[in-house]
């Protein structure tokens, strides 16, 4: 692997036994793991190409314990990597040899549900799906639905600002969270946001969401819950060209329709999915759209007709409308199983996550095809078509020497292409270690330094999840250097860090 | 307040900031001045953004609009309306609230002030629709954050900090906003004669139903006029009709649900938006609480003799009352929320801070975050 992580601190490595003892004094018994065999499950997250055993793992159960652990590590200059369920696809939870891995798995309780305020207060280790399960009997659900929702934690969702197939209409995590409690690296516990819609001061919640574990350890989250729509219906639409499918998406939005979900698959993805789940996807098409509508029955009926009309006007060769819930689920089955389906046709696959302006779709897919030929690796595309979030799955075999490197180089070229056409490196999976070194494609040095200065306001010693997101580590002292003009600091009355 | 410069470009802004830092001066970023009555006076030099105006890019099918900060809000609204789209957070012009003509508000100003109207409860606020920005930091450095596509998680989400920052972090020089289709049909339904407690319950029942309610507001009884609780439905005609019928069932216990005429409905929401339903004279408070606490706060406002309005299904209370700062802040605290003093006499402003005092730990963190963008405090005009 070509990834360079921060040099392990030799003093920390040498103090391992002392660190174990100090953390056992905070979290007794099995809460501190130092046995190498027991640390194996923590070696990597969903980005399995990278592995690194942590120094040790600690599994606190209370905010007070998290605070004490962080305060001790802060005082002793020990790095910490937070971890939820370990499903990150960008290596956000990748351990460091000299860092304590802080697992939030024991934070698995739902603390409060309030249907008047339409909120749930949950601990960060609660899984995304468990959040919905807790409120569904009352007719509610938690809208962001990453495909990993049975496993991924709300804390991880907050850290990654995760999305899902419904986020065009219902937003990402950031649009569905009202408040949180988090612990800063020095052990201080901070509450931001609340149950009301607007924060009292700066919208710090807005930056903590999506901060990839770099600003603080989230120990409680207040999420908004929504009434479950009366009905959901889906259309399965085949197109002989990608342009037709792309134009259908654009025309749908131009007609004022924001569907609950709008997913596209290309020919290789359709074939892989159909071979895996056998739900009757058309195989003679170049692009397949799944459009989901939700809301009251009258709305779905009305819009199904509208979208069928738009699809046919854009050359759709097949249109099916789900007649019942079983059929709607069947339409989705192939899309939802796209990753494992691709896993069946290739020993390994590498999932990319760029976003592009939708109008550039055809060009981007053509260039991905050309790159595929250049690198000699296959690719299947699934695509959150409504919001332009592309998931090319690069097919490779890790056992063939050089293929992983080629897959990574191919992936980097795809992401560069996304940025070149006006898009971004990541739409929902985060930067982590995976896209860290590509950040300069999208941001100047000044842009990145400004982001790092924010990091310094939360964690001036850079001990929390170092080596992630930023390609170059700057010391906070250097970033925060004061402007001293003619030997004096302006506004000496203002506090400084 | 003296004028430092009248920048016409981003590099002019950067120069003005660098000059101010060198001279040890402070800069007050101004837009249209529609909210100039909020907070204290603006010491320091003005940095007016009005000349940085105009649309940079607008592609309706991508749902993305890039615009310069000095563009008048009214222009932006008209532009997107021409494509049957909207800024879903319903930003509005504060001019009338301060007894001025409307039309001065700029897009940069409303975003920096985090202004959002009744639809905030269902569609999110300014923060939820600001996708990206270009800005000049208090170091005089130009930087970019966020992006020009609707879905992005690359790097820290700095644009979130801009919404509601009141120009205290950096000077925005370009904003990329998410736009959404404008609803084809809108219907307003009224319940009347509910007390605040019943109104909050009815609004919660409506918001918690499958009728997908866009807005829920309540105007208390006044001068012999009975109270009104209003629910707005938006969407395609067949859907709106079905949802209105659904609401009649859901709200059957709260008395008859009357369909407002189009003009009557629009008047009500305009009254909430411009606060024309409240008297213009006294101090104006904006109280943000969990909706379930809305009735308790309303009860305090009644006791204080305040004129008030409730929006966001009970989560936002606008109250007009002089000299009651302590009681208002205490009521907001008890409710777990906060209260902002939006408009007041110079005398009241001199003693009552505009923003709700934050918890001590949080105040220190906010301070460090501000210094991360503005180490010399160039944008700290002391207004708040
Ligand atoms: C099969 C599969 C499908 C997926 N589909 C989607 C999808 O549709 N949409 C999508 O957005 N993502 C998807 N993901 C990615 C992943 O599931 C999400 O990023 C998820 O939010 C990670 O949650 P986690 O609990 O597993 O976090 P982890 O992987 O454990 O950690 C992720 C990051 O969050 C930090 N972190 C975790 N918990 C905390 C905390 N309490 N406080 C502070 N920082 C914390 C970690 O340090 C790390 O940086 C998918 C992953 C897989 C494997």
Q: Secondary structure of chain B in the HEC alphabet?
A: CCECCCCCCHHHHHHHHHHHHHHCCCEEEECCCCCCCCCCCCCCEEEECCCCCCEEEEEHHHCEEEECCCCEHHHHHHHHHCCCEECCCCCCCCHHHHCCCCCCCEHHHHHHCCCCCCCHHHHCCHHHHEEEEEEEECCCCEEEEECCCCCCCCCCCCHHHHCCCCCCCEEEEEEEEECEECCCEEEEEEEECCCHHHHHHHHHHHHCCCCCCCEEEEECCECCECCEEEEEEEECHHHHHHHHHHHHHHCHHHCCCEECCHHHHHHHHHHHHHCCCCCCCCCEEEEECCHHHHHHHHHHHHHCCCEEEEEHHHCEEEEECCCCHHHHHHHHHHCCCEEEEEECCHHHHHHCCCCCCCCHHHHHHHHHHHHHHCCCCCCCCCCC
Contact predicate A222/B336, CB 8 Å: no
Rounded average pLDDT over B365-372: 96
A427 lines ligand 1 (CB under 6 A): no
The count of other CB atoms within 10 Å of the CB of residue B350 is: 10
| Most A CBs within 10 Å, among B149, B317, B362, to test the A interface | B149
Q: Can you give the pLDDT at residue B5?
A: 67
Residues A114 and A222 in one domain: yes
A47 lines ligand 1 (CB under 6 A): no
Residues A132 and A45 in one domain: no
Contacts with A, B 106-125, CB within 8 Å? 114, 116, 120-121, 124-125
**Chain B within 8 Å of A120 (Cβ-Cβ)?**
no
Residue A412 covered by a domain: no
Residue A311 covered by a domain: yes
Residue A371 covered by a domain: no
Determine what percent of chain A is predicted with pLDDT higher than 90: 91
Contact predicate B14/B170, CB 8 Å: no
Residue A325 covered by a domain: yes
Residues A59 and A21 in one domain: yes
Give the CA count within 13 Å in the CB-facing half-sphere of A377.
28
- Of B193, B201, B365, the C-alpha closest to B292 is B201
Q: Can you give the pLDDT at residue A486?
A: 41
- Ligand 1 atom closest to the Cα of residue A216 is 43
Count of domains for chain A: 4
- B240 or B41: which leads in pLDDT: B240
Q: Can you give the pLDDT at residue B72?
A: 96
Residue A54 covered by a domain: yes
Residues A85 and A124 in one domain: no
| pLDDT, mean over chain B | 93
pLDDT digits (tens, 9 = 90+) for A416-461: 999 999 999 999 999 999 999 999 999 999 999 999 999 999 999 9
Rounded average pLDDT over A170-193: 97
Q: Judge whether residue B40 has pLDDT over 80.
A: no
Nearest CA to ligand 1 atom 5: A147
Q: Judge whether residue A472 has pLDDT over 60.
A: yes
Q: Is A418 helix (H, G, I), strand (E, B) or coil?
A: helix
Of the given ranges (A130-144, B283-297, B355-369), which has the lowest mean pLDDT?
Answer: B355-369
**Chain A within 8 Å of B60 (Cβ-Cβ)?**
yes
- A28 or A95: which leads in pLDDT: A95
| Most B CBs within 10 Å, among A92, A114, A116, A314, to test the B interface | A116
Tell me the CA distances in angstroms from A160 to A237, A429, B204, B274, one per residue in order.
32, 7, 31, 38
With beta carbons under 8 A apart, name residues in chain A contacting B316.
197
Q: Judge whether residue B107 has pLDDT over 80.
A: yes
Q: Is A321 helix (H, G, I), strand (E, B) or coil?
A: strand
Last residue of a domain, one of A85, A103, A121: A103
* Helices and strands, counts by H and E, chain A: 18, 20
Q: Can you give the pLDDT at residue A489?
A: 46
Residues A208 and A238 in one domain: no
Residues A97 and A122 in one domain: no
- Ligand 1 atom closest to the Cα of residue A213 is 44
- The Cα A73–Cα A463 span in angstroms is 8
Quick one: pLDDT band at residue B1, thresholds 50, 70, 90? very low
- Ligand 1 atom closest to the Cα of residue A83 is 30
> Using the beta-carbon criterion (under 8 Å), do A491 and B161 form an inter-chain contact?
no
Q: Is A157 helix (H, G, I), strand (E, B) or coil?
A: helix
Q: Judge whether residue B274 has pLDDT over 90.
A: no
- Of A116, A299, A133, A171, the C-alpha closest to B206 is A116
Residue A448 covered by a domain: yes
ipTM rounded to 2 decimals? 0.95
Q: Can you give the pLDDT at residue B358?
A: 86
Facing residue for B288 by CB, picked from A196, A358, A443: A196
The torsion of the CA quartet B319, B322, B325, B330, rounded to 10 degrees, works out to -50
CA Rg, chain B, in Å? 21
Q: Can you give the pLDDT at residue B42?
A: 54
Q: Can you give the pLDDT at residue B349?
A: 86
**pTM for this entry:** 0.96
Q: Judge whether residue A484 has pLDDT over 50.
A: no
Residues A248 and A217 in one domain: no
Residues A40 and A67 in one domain: yes
> Using the beta-carbon criterion (under 8 Å), do A253 and B380 form an inter-chain contact?
no
Residue A174 covered by a domain: yes
- B279 or B86: which leads in pLDDT: B86
Residue-range definition of the domain harbouring residue A245: 230-343
Residues A324 and A246 in one domain: yes
Tell me the CA distances in angstroms from A319 to A224, A331, A387, one per residue in order.
35, 12, 22
Residues A223 and A282 in one domain: no
Token pair in block for residue A143: 């809208």
> Using the beta-carbon criterion (under 8 Å), do B149 and A422 form an inter-chain contact?
yes
* Distance between A7 CA and the closest CA of chain B, angstroms: 23
pLDDT digits (tens, 9 = 90+) for A355-414: 999 999 989 999 999 999 999 999 999 999 999 999 999 999 999 999 999 999 999 999
Question: Which residues are paired to A485 by β-bridges?
Answer: A488
Q: Judge whether residue A494 has pLDDT over 90.
A: no
Q: Report the CATH number at residue A139.
A: 3.30.465.10
- Ligand 1 atom closest to the Cα of residue A173 is 11
Q: Is A218 helix (H, G, I), strand (E, B) or coil?
A: strand
To which H or E segment does residue A248 belong? helix A242-254
A381 lines ligand 1 (CB under 6 A): no
**Chain B within 8 Å of A347 (Cβ-Cβ)?**
no
With beta carbons under 8 A apart, name residues in chain A contacting B120.
197
To which H or E segment does residue A305 belong? helix A297-313
Q: Report the CATH number at residue A318.
A: 3.30.70.2190
State the burial class of residue A29 (Cβ atoms within 10 Å of its Cβ: 0-12, 13-18, 19+).
exposed
Residue A401 covered by a domain: no
Residues A72 and A168 in one domain: no
* Crossing angle for the helix pair B237-250 and A297-313, to the nearest 10 degrees: 170
Q: Judge whether residue A349 has pLDDT over 60.
A: yes
Q: Judge whether residue A490 has pLDDT over 60.
A: no
- Of A344, A433, A429, A431, the C-alpha closest to A395 is A344
Q: Can you give the pLDDT at residue A485?
A: 43
> Using the beta-carbon criterion (under 8 Å), do A117 and B147 form an inter-chain contact?
no
CA of A80 to the centre of ligand 1 (A): 17
Domains and CATH numbers, chain B: 48-181 (3.30.465.10), 185-351 (3.40.462)
The torsion of the CA quartet A384, A388, A389, A390, rounded to 10 degrees, works out to 90
> Using the beta-carbon criterion (under 8 Å), do B315 and A358 form an inter-chain contact?
no
Rounded average pLDDT over B215-236: 96
Rounded average pLDDT over B100-109: 88
Residues A67 and A128 in one domain: no
> Using the beta-carbon criterion (under 8 Å), do A491 and B238 form an inter-chain contact?
no
Last residue of a domain, one of A103, A118, A144: A103
Contact predicate A149/A127, CB 8 Å: yes
A93 lines ligand 1 (CB under 6 A): yes
Contact predicate B117/B145, CB 8 Å: no
| pLDDT, mean over chain A | 94
* Distance between B343 CA and the closest CA of chain A, angstroms: 17
A163 lines ligand 1 (CB under 6 A): yes
CA of A428 to the centre of ligand 1 (A): 10
Last residue of a domain, one of A292, A326, A343: A343
**Chain B within 8 Å of A358 (Cβ-Cβ)?**
yes
> Using the beta-carbon criterion (under 8 Å), do B153 and A422 form an inter-chain contact?
no
> Using the beta-carbon criterion (under 8 Å), do A435 and B361 form an inter-chain contact?
no
A459 lines ligand 1 (CB under 6 A): no
pLDDT digits (tens, 9 = 90+) for A204-258: 999 999 999 999 999 999 999 999 999 999 999 999 999 999 999 999 999 999 9
A82 lines ligand 1 (CB under 6 A): yes
Q: Judge whether residue A487 has pLDDT over 50.
A: no
């Amino acid at each position: 692997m070509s990834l360079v992580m921060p040099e392990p601190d030799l003093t920390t490595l040498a103090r391992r036994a002392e660190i174990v003892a100090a953390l056992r004094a905070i979290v007794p018994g099995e809460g501190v793991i130092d046995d190498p065999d027991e640390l194996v499950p923590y070696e990597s997250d969903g980005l399995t190409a990278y592995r690194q055993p942590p120094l040790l793992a600690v599994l606190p159960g209370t905010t007070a314990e998290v605070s004490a652990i962080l305060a001790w590590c802060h005082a002793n200059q020990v790095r910490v990597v937070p971890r939820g369920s370990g499903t990150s696809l960008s290596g956000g939870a990748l351990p460091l040899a000299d860092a304590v891995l802080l697992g939030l798995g024991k934070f698995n309780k739902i603390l409060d549900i309030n249907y008047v305020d339409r909120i749930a207060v949950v601990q960060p280790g609660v899984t995304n799906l468990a959040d919905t399960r807790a409120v569904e009997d009352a007719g509610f659900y938690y809208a962001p639905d990453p495909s990993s929702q049975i496993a991924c934690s709300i804390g991880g969702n907050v850290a990654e600002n995760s999305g899902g197939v419904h986020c065009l209409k219902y937003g990402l995590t950031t649009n569905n969270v009202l408040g949180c409690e988090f612990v800063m690296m020095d052990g201080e516990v901070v509450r931001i946001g609340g149950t009301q819609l607007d924060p009292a001061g700066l919208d710090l919640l807005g930056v903590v969401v999506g901060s990839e574990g770099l600003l603080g350890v989230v120990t409680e989250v207040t999420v908004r819950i929504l009434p479950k729509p009366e009905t959901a219906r889906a259309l399965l639409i085949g197109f002989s060209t990608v342009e037709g499918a792309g134009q259908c998406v654009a025309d749908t939005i131009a007609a004022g329709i924001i569907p609950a979900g709008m997913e596209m698959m290309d020919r290789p993805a359709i074939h892989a999915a159909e071979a895996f789940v056998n739900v009757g996807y058309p195989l003679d098409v170049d692009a397949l759209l799944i459009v989901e509508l939700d809301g009251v029955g009258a709305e779905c009926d009305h819009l199904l007709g509208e979208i069928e009309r738009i699809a046919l006007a854009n050359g759709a060769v097949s249109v099916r409308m789900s007649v019942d819930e079983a059929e709607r689920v069947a339409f989705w089955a192939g899309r939802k199983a796209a990753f494992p389906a691709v896993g069946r046709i290739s020993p390994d696959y590498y999932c990319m996550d760029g976003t592009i302006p939708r109008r550039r779709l055809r060009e981007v897919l053509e260039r991905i095809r050309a790159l595929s030929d250049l690198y000699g690796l296959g690719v299947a595309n699934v695509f959150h078509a409504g919001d332009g979030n592309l998931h090319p799955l690069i097919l490779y075999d890790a056992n063939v020497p050089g293929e992983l490197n080629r897959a990574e180089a191919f992936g980097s070229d795809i992401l560069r292409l996304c940025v070149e056409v006006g898009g971004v490196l990541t739409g929902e999976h985060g930067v982590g270690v995976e896209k860290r070194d590509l950040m300069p494609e999208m941001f100047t040095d000044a842009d990145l330094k400004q982001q790092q200065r924010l990091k310094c306001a939360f964690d001036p010693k850079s001990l929390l999840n170092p080596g992630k997101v930023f390609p170059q580590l700057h010391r906070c002292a250097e970033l925060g250097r004061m402007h001293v003009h003619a030997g004096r600091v302006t506004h000496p009355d203002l506090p400084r860090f | 307040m003296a004028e430092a410069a009248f920048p016409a470009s981003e590099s002019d802004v950067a120069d003005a900031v660098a000059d101010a830092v060198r001279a040890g001066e402070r800069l007050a970023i101004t837009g249209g001045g529609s909210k100039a009555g909020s907070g204290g006076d603006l010491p320091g030099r003005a940095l007016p953004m009005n000349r940085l105006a105009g649309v940079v890019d607008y592609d309706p099918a991508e749902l993305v609009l890039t615009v310069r900060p000095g563009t008048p809000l009214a222009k932006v609204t008209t532009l997107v309306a021409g494509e049957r789209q909207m800024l879903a957070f319903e930003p509005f012009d504060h001019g009338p609230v301060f007894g001025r003509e409307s039309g001065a508000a700029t897009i940069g100003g409303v975003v920096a002030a985090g202004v959002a109207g009744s639809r905030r409860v269902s569609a999110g606020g300014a923060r939820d629709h600001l996708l990206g920005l270009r800005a000049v930091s208090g170091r005089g450095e130009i930087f970019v954050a966020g992006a020009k596509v609707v879905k992005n998680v690359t790097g820290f989400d700095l644009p979130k900090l801009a919404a509601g920052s009141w120009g205290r972090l950096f000077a925005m020089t370009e904003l990329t906003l998410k736009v959404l289709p404008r609803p084809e049909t809108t219907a307003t339904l009224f319940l009347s004669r509910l007390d605040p407690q019943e109104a909050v319950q009815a609004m919660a029942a409506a918001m918690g139903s499958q009728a997908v309610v866009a807005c829920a507001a309540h105007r208390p009884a006044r001068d012999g006029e009975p109270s009104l609780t209003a629910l707005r439905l938006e969407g395609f005609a067949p859907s709106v009709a079905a949802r209105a019928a659904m609401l009649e069932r859901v709200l059957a216990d709260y008395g008859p649900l009357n369909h407002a005429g189009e003009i009557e409905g629009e008047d009500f929401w305009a009254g909430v938006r411009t606060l024309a339903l409240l008297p213009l004279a006294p101090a104006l408070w904006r109280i943000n609480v969990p909706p379930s606490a809305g009735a308790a706060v309303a009860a305090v406002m009644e006791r204080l003799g305040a004129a008030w309005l409730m929006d966001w299904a009970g989560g936002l209370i606008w109250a007009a009352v002089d000299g009651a700062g302590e009681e208002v802040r205490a009521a907001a605290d008890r409710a777990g929320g906060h209260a902002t003093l939006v408009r007041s006499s110079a005398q009241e402003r001199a003693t009552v801070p505009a923003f709700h005092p934050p918890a001590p730990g949080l105040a220190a963190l906010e301070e460090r975050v501000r210094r991360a963008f503005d180490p010399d405090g160039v944008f700290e005009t002391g207004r708040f």
